[in-house]
Amino acid sequence: MIKNILVLCTGNSCRSQIAEGFIRHYYGDEVTVYSAGIETHGVNPKAIATMAEVGIDISKHTSNHVDTYLDIPFDLIITVCDHAAEQCPVFPSLAQRVHRNFPDPAKAQGSSEDIEASFRSTRNLIDLFCREELKGILK
């Protein structure tokens, strides 16, 4: 049974925060979920707003460095960007690893509408991943 989950991305500002929010939403009390980055950039306000659109509040989330969690016995480590997958530290555990590279909405350019659309697109991809792909692992 998977209990402790770590979601990793580069800056722990968007993708890992969104995934943490969806995992908490869908799997709640069944798991303990953490998110972290190989750097910390703060939680992106656009990620908070984008999740609020679907009724999930991540405004209290914090941006954490992966080293903070090195002593936690994770059952599942999810990397949500290629950079984090390549730079992820070795955890002294038998944690199952899952990797999916999602587009970084924080790098979106263009009008405010274009940037919002990028955040929504990434949010929707992560939602589908958490709802459908993780279901087979977590349930």
Measured in degrees and rounded to the nearest 5, phi and psi for residue 65 equal -85, 140
Which one is catalytic: 81, 84, 126, 138?
A: 81
**What burial class does residue 41 get, using C-beta atoms within 10 Å of its C-beta: 0-12 exposed, 13-18 middle, 19+ buried?**
middle
- Among 88, 98, 117, 125, which one carries the catalytic annotation? 88
Catalytic (active site) residue 14: no
Longest dimension (CA), the chain: 45
* Known catalytic residue at 130: no
In terms of phi and psi (left: phi > 0; alpha: psi -120 to 50; beta: otherwise), the region of 137 is alpha
Query: Which residue is catalytic, options 9, 58, 126, 130?
Result: 9
**Catalytic residue IDs:** 9, 81, 88
